[in-house]
Amino acid sequence: MSSLDSALKSTPNADSTQRETWWDRVEAVLERGSEWLNPILVKEARQALKSRQFVVTFTLLLLLGWVWTIFGVFLSAPGIFYGAEGKGMLFGYFLVLAVPLLVVVPFSAFRSLAAEREDGTYELISITALNARQIVSGKLGSAVLQMMVYFSALAPCVAFTYLLRGVDIFSIFFVLYYTFLVSLLLSTFALLVATASRSRQWQSLLSVLLLLVLLFVGGMWITFIYSSLYENIWRADLWEFWAVQGFLLTNFVMFFMLFLWAAGAQISFPSDNRSTRMRYIMFLHQAFFIGWMVYFTIAIDNEPELAIVSIVVGCIYWGVLGALLIGEYPQLSPRVRRELPQSFLGRMTWTWFNPGSGTGYIFTSLNISFFAVACLVMLSIPDHLVQSYTLTIATSIAPTVATSSPVIDWVPAFTNQFASNFRESSFVILAAAYVVAYLGVSRLMVLLARQVASVGLMFSLLITIFFAIAGAALPWIFQFWLFNYRNEGYTILQVTNWAWTLEETADGNIWNHWPSPVGVLLGALVIFLVNLILTAGEVAQVRIAAPQRVQDEQLTLHPVKPKRNSPWDDEKPASSNA
Amino acid sequence: MQISTTPTIELHRLHRLFGSTHAVNDISFEVHRGQVYGYIGPNGAGKTTSMRILSTLDLPTYGDAFVDGFSCINDPDRVRRRLGFMPDYFGTYANVNCWEYLDFFARAHGLVGRERSQALRRVMAFTGLNLLAEKPIRGLSKGMKQRLCLGRTLIHDPAVLILDEPAAGLDPRARIELREMIGQLAADGKTILVSSHILTELAEMCDRVGIIEQGRLLATGTVEEIQRQQSQASEVRVRVLGGAQALSQWLGAREDVEKIVLDGEYVNFAHAGVREAEVELLREMVVAGFAILEFGTHQTTLEDVFLQVTRGYVQ
């Protein structure tokens, strides 16, 4: 018997003599229920609900809720008995909720994780069975719990606004639903910010910046909710409304997952694979985004502007994420190499999801190219495929498809549409080429910098921003200086100036300066090829076997059942008596 | 004690660089099951860094560390299941009582239901925290907090314990109690790596020690082994009745004796040789006619060894 067990034996069990009360039984049930919850959530709930911050916020919320109820009723009287006063009352309650939900809860989530890292308790948790993502999810769960408590506290007041006239149930639902989603996304973002640095100085700076972001977003959201209530945008009777809800929800889920995984990756063990899962999410996000854009083009509106907006969003998205991906280190730990794809096809496809600067660049370039191709397809969809915006995609396309021959009708229709949208198509191609080129140059700089110093994601992000600004501003300044500060219009000198070049493209004048777009395309191709050659080393990584000790334990924990060759083979080993 | 052939803890050519500072410089040693290994060195020697690498909180620049045969770099989750780390800070939470604190760590280690409640009761009984279960951590004394942290380290019943300065700042009674607890855990077969500045205590509880300075492991083994590594000569003190001067002359003629110092009736000298040689020397003195009242060799303490081995460098 170990000394721990003998200490337990020598301790009298005080509870054994007491009778179990009904409350003990309730507590036991709750205790069993809590086994299913994230341990961080259980701890945070115990901690947070006893904290001064929560008590003060909750008390203030209740007080302000009551004050607004009394004040609002007096303010609306006597019209409250026959007028439509619900909107005003609802907006008042929303304001009371907005501060805790949009500022207090996300900021507490930030402080909660930052404090764990400052106080060293994060280290103690990190060496338990919990992984980094579970830790972040637990913190987020605690934030959600607090949101729920605040929502519940004001639920009777919100229900009261429905009893007044002037606000429908959908408006109330969507105001609360979207406020919850925004609060959740801000909390996830705040957790990501908390993982950015361990140093107290940086944490202080980040906390100020985060607070400013929260106040800004909170202010914007309050303004939006106010106008949404009075402009009646929550139109559940419209079909497009639900399509937009689907689009927003998809993007929310993708950004939420991206932030959550990024926060988890930031604080995970250094030899872990921090990148592959995030690349899956990015890839999936792009696929969903393109899917929605094509759907909107076909089912709602076949305007070329949609493709332009899409490529701009895509360029920003991949520009930022690509700038971070090219800052990754290419060395894979043996732990990561144990899980690399083995087959030729697997390596061809999944290698670009492996961590590394080169794979990150190629991954980004392939994605933005794919995005551009999707936008070109959107620009090529013939108008007659899009019949009425009230029809769904299936009813829109099905009759056309059924009565047409793909080769005879479709190919000319698509090419004609593409030709008529040549200006927009040029914009799409050039925008994607600029992203490939600038990220490629930044990656080459990262490789150069690594010859003398150890540089990471922050360096690659900053160098990309620097190149993007310098590439646009320097030729512009140079040209003005060259022409004695007179505006001589677009020239070939502006080939690196993505802003001006794309503006000229949008205006339809870029092919008058054809060497410039051709230069951009050729430049992007050359930079891509140089980077591809330099990525060879990263692609050459092969899978390695787990050490014998790991394999042995794996076999002990998950023994392989002996294969039965016939129905007479006994599963259990025969005993000596048999 | 039976020592298994596979080490439970193994550091293999471990290096850790922080910029130009070589915090851990080529350290290798092994600790077997049931052993208590004392890790000694001045502040900034690299003890905590190497303990953090073993605890999967940091990565080495080169080399590797293994716990029960699993790499701390490549299989941290397997290492963590086997390991309990008690750092040199408390790491406690506000608004939490002792029971809630231990319960949280039990849950975090994946203990559920009856298994968790048993673990909690066992650890609270072992650390003597039963009566303080409902007490907020904020109100605990330093000694009690240290017990709580030991409880947290033991909650998942790890086979390996890494204790970084567990006795720092404790009063004498708390230190004795902690020493006893560590002794009990070692007797249970747990492998313990403990660092401390209080060398007398380490000497009492450790089977082996490693002395580290400026990131280098200067010596490792039992105290006697290290002493022998450092110097072949033992200090001998002889009290002789009325012939100290003659004895010192007699000793001066011998090749195995040096550093002879007369001190009244006493003669102190360094004797190169093993214990049997000392017995022979005493016999020869008596045969030579010296009236020997006392003959003793100086007992080397861990402090002596530490002072001999280290140079007091700080990086």
Among B199, B221, B243, identify where a domain stops.
Answer: B221
Q: Note whether residue B313 is domain-resident.
A: no
Q: What percent of chain A has pLDDT over 90?
A: 45
Is the domain of B262 the same as that of B135? no
Contact, A260 vs A137, CB < 8 A? yes
Cα–Cα distance, B69 to B50 (Å, whole number)? 17
And the tokens for A176? 């609360």
Tokens of A401: 């498809």
Question: Tens digit of pLDDT for each residue in A342-361?
Answer: 888 888 888 889 899 999 99
Mean pLDDT score, A40-51: 86
Same domain, yes or no: B216 and B252: no
- Summarised one tens digit per residue, pLDDT across range B240-297 is 988 889 999 999 998 888 889 998 889 998 887 777 888 899 999 999 999 999 998 8
How confident is the model at residue A10, as a pLDDT?
A: 67
Q: Residues B145, B216: one domain?
A: yes
Which chain A positions have a beta carbon within 8 Å of B104's beta carbon? 39, 42-43
Partners of residue B74 in chain A, C-beta under 8 Å: 271, 333-335, 547
Backbone angles phi, psi at B312, to 5 degrees: 80, 20
Please give the DSSP secondary-structure letter assigned to residue B132: G
| Look-up of token digits 């100086």 | B298
- Pick from A46, A128, A131: CB nearest B105: A128
Q: Percent helix, strand and coil across chain B, each rounded to 5?
A: 40, 30, 35
Same domain, B186 and B262: no
pLDDT, residue B282, reads 92
Flag whether residue A5 sits within 8 Å of chain B, measured between CB atoms. Answer: yes
Nearest to A46 among B89, B96, B126 (CB): B96
Amino acid at the residue B26: D
Domain end position, chosen among B205, B221, B237 = B221
Q: Decide if A432 contacts A369 (C-beta within 8 A).
A: yes
Q: Is residue B315 part of a domain?
A: no
Residues 17-56 of B with CB under 8 A from A: 55-56
Q: Is there a single domain that holds both residue B204 and residue B261?
A: no
B182 and B243 both lie in a single domain: no
Q: Characterize A420-458 residue by residue with b for buried, 16 or more Cβ atoms within 10 angstroms of its Cβ, and e for exposed.
A: ebebbbbbbbbbbbbbbbbbbbbbbbbbeebeeeebebe
The answer, for A333 touching chain B at a CB cutoff of 8 Å, is: yes
pLDDT at A390 over 50: no
Chain B residues 162-221 within an 8 A CB cutoff of chain A: 181, 184-185, 187-188
Q: Where is average pLDDT lowest: A1-5, A120-124, A253-257, A526-530?
A: A1-5
**CATH number of the domain bearing residue B285:** 3.30.70.100
Q: Which of A9, A24, A269, A557 to mutate to test the interface with B (most CBs of B within 10 A)?
A: A269
Q: Is residue B4, in this structure, part of any structural domain at all?
A: no
User: Hey, are the CB atoms on A130 and B77 less than 8 Å from each other?
Assistant: no
Q: Are residues B128 and B194 in the same domain?
A: yes
Q: Is residue B311 part of a domain?
A: no
Are A97 and A151 within 8 A, CB to CB? yes
Q: Do B75 and A550 count as a contact with CB atoms less than 8 A apart?
A: yes
| CB spacing of A4 vs B154 below 8 angstroms | yes
CB contact under 8 Å between B70 and A549, yes or no, is yes
Task: Give me the half-sphere count of Cα atoms (radius 13 Å) on the Cβ side of residue A553.
Answer: 13
Domain of residue B295, residue span: 229-304
Higher pLDDT, A435 or A241: A435
CB burial of A368-391 (b: ≥16 within 10 Å; e: otherwise) equals bbbbbebbbbbbbbbeebbeeeeb
Selection from A116, A105, A71 nearest residue A89 by Cα = A71
Residues B29 and B174 in one domain: yes
Q: Which residues of B206-232 are buried (b: 16+ CB within 10 A; e: fewer)?
A: bbbbbbbbbbbbbbbbebeebbeebee
User: What ipTM did this prediction achieve?
Assistant: 0.81
User: Same structural domain for residues B248 and B280?
Assistant: yes
- More confident: A239 or A362: A362
Cβ distance of B78 and A553 shorter than 8 Å: yes
Q: Is A29 on the interface with B (CB under 8 A)?
A: no
Q: Which residue among B89, B95, B187 places its CB closest to the CB of A120?
A: B89
Please return the burial class of B186, using the count of CB atoms within 10 Å of its CB with bins 0-12, 13-18 and 19+.
buried
Put simply, the answer to whether A3 touches B187 (Cβ < 8 Å) is: yes
Residue of B nearest to A117 (CA): B91
In whole angstroms, give the CA distance from residue A128 to residue A458. Answer: 29
Cβ atoms of B187 and B180 closer than 8 Å: no
Residue B3 forms part of a structural domain: no
| List of residues 6+ apart from A331 with CB closer than 8 A | none
Model pLDDT for residues B166-213, shown as the tens digit of each residue: 888 778 888 888 888 888 888 888 999 999 877 777 777 888 989 898
Shared domain for B285 and B155, answered yes or no, is no
| Position A280 pLDDT exceeds 70 | yes
* CA A284 – CA A277 distance, rounded (Å): 11
| C-alpha angle B53-B57-B58 in degrees, rounded to nearest 5 | 55
Give the residue carrying structure tokens 């899962």: A277
Q: What Cα–Cα distance (Å) separates residue B267 from each residue in B250, B252, B296?
A: 11, 11, 11
The verdict on A469 touching B (C-beta cutoff 8 Å) is no
pLDDT digits (tens, 9 = 90+) for A119-149: 889 999 999 999 999 999 999 999 999 999 9
For residues A235 and A174, the answer to whether their CB atoms sit within 8 Å is no
Mutation for A interface: B6, B12, B16, B93, most A CBs within 10 A = B93
Do residue B13 and residue B49 come from a single domain?
yes
What's the total number of domains in chain B? 2
Nearest to B164 by CA among B32, B48, B31: B48
> For A365, left (φ over 0), alpha (ψ -120 to 50), or beta?
alpha
Average pLDDT along chain A: 85
CB contact under 8 A, B126 and A4: yes
What pLDDT shows up at residue B62? Answer: 92
Considering only alpha carbons, which residue of chain B is nearest residue A32? B113
**Res B243: pLDDT:** 84
Contact flag A271-B123 (C-beta cutoff 8 Å):
no
- My answer on whether B213 and B234 are in the same domain is no
Contact of B186 with B198, CB cutoff 8 Å: no
Percent of chain A exceeding pLDDT 70 equals: 89
Instruction: Return the closest-CA partner of residue A538 out of A336, A267, A323.
Output: A336
pLDDT at B274: 74
Which residues have a Cβ under 8 Å from the Cβ of A246 and sit 6 or more positions away? A292
Are residues B126 and A7, on separate chains, in Cβ contact within 8 Å?
Answer: yes
Q: Chain A partners of B87 at a C-beta cutoff of 8 Å?
A: 120, 123-124
Q: Which of B201, B221, B241 is the last residue of a domain?
A: B221
CA–CA gap between residue A327 and residue B155 (Å, rounded) = 40
Contact flag A270-B59 (C-beta cutoff 8 Å): yes
Taken in order A25, A29, A30, A32, the sign of the CA dihedral is positive
pLDDT band at A573 (very low <50, low <70, confident <90, very high): low
Which tens digits make up the pLDDT trace of B144-173?
888 899 999 999 999 999 999 888 877 888
pLDDT recorded at residue A577: 46
Beta strands in B68-214 (DSSP E): 70-71, 83-86, 160-164, 191-195, 208-213
A164-178, B63-77, B200-214, range with greatest mean pLDDT? B63-77
